[in-house]
Amino acid sequence: MTASSSTRDQIAELTRQIDQQSEPFRQIVTQINQVLVGQEQLVHRMLVGLLAGGHLLIEGVPGLAKTTAVSSLAKAIHTDFQRLQFTPDLLPADLIGTLVYRPQDQTFVVQKGPIFSNLILADEINRAPAKVQSALLEAMQERQVTIGTETFPLAQPFLVMATQNPIEQEGTYQLPEAQTDRFMLKVIVDYPSRDEELLILQRMSKTSPTFDIQAVTSPEEIMAARRLIDEVYVDEKVQHYVVDLVMATRTPEAYGLQLGELIQFGGSPRATINLTLAAKANAFLAGRGYVTPQDVRELALDVLRHRVMVTYEAEAEDRTSASIVSEILNHIPMP
């Protein structure tokens, strides 16, 4: 780290504070692991999103405990949780709320929708029409909802975990690229290993499995943690590394990569911001007051995979955005 003596002292003090304030978030993992088996990466990315103020797009087949994961997270931080099943007949009012007429006094009153919660699980977001997707994504971006002529701020922290089912495309509405860019992370949830599957069988094969998840933190502590994350030190070399990774998705030839014919669009400046924020949150969870290049590399694939649009040539060669991002990560050296 190329930091001055005073900066190093500040980082040491910040690390001491972070080591104390990050402990409840490590306890959250312990609490959730009482229920979940083999989803360490999903739990970690949920905490990164929660701490960095970003949202998650989760892709995985049904039955991989996505709903259980977010409901367990809500219990561990003692906050509100809403699960929304997106369907083709869903209306924006079903999500954000509407005005209800009261004939007794001839006035309209606001009936708030389920979006007014701290944690939202938007199940199968690609099954809802564009208007509903836009209503959700506007709330995610602006952190507020307009009903009639009134605007209502959403409670903080506010985390949306939207799921997509990759195996059924009938009756779905593809999320536009501009909308998927609103998600900080796209996480792929895979099947558990054989040993994990056996543990799931032993733990969950009951008619009514019950687990005692203790609340170990609060929304107020999360907001305090975010203020500390804003102070996490990012060295200039690490900043250049972040910028190079994102720029390589736009102009790969400038970095000696022959990927120009495979990439239609690269990551936007939002990718640069989100990758830095996610790396800061990762450092916080590790109890550090500074970001390492490994923090960036660990989260780069989940930040960039849904922001790199491939061409028809790439599809013809069975190249995915994930494989292209992985090639960029392997090519650009860490500082």
Sign of the CA dihedral with 27 first, then 30, 33, and 39 last? positive
For residue 314, the domain's CATH number is 1.10.8.80
The total of structural domains in the chain comes to 2
Specify whether 105 is located in the same domain as 254: no
For residue 74, the domain's CATH number is 3.40.50.300
Cis peptide before 153 (omega within 30 of 0): no
Which of 53-57, 76-80, 302-306 shows the lowest per-residue confidence on average (mean pLDDT)?
A: 76-80
Domain containing 176 equals 37-217
Q: Is the pLDDT of residue 132 over 70?
A: yes
Specify whether 186 is located in the same domain as 252: no
Structure confidence at residue 183 (pLDDT): 93
Structure confidence at residue 168 (pLDDT): 57
Specify whether 271 is located in the same domain as 206: no
Specify whether 93 is located in the same domain as 208: yes
End-to-end CA distance of the chain: 10
CB 57 within 8 A of CB 188: no
| Mean pLDDT on 22-43 | 89
DSSP three-state, residue 32: helix
Q: Indicate the pLDDT class of residue 170, thresholds 50, 70 and 90.
A: low
Q: Which residues contact 139 (CB under 8 A, 6 or more apart)?
A: 96, 115, 145, 154, 160
Specify whether 213 is located in the same domain as 301: no
Domain assignment present for 138: yes
Q: Is the pLDDT of residue 171 over 70?
A: no
Specify whether 133 is located in the same domain as 282: no
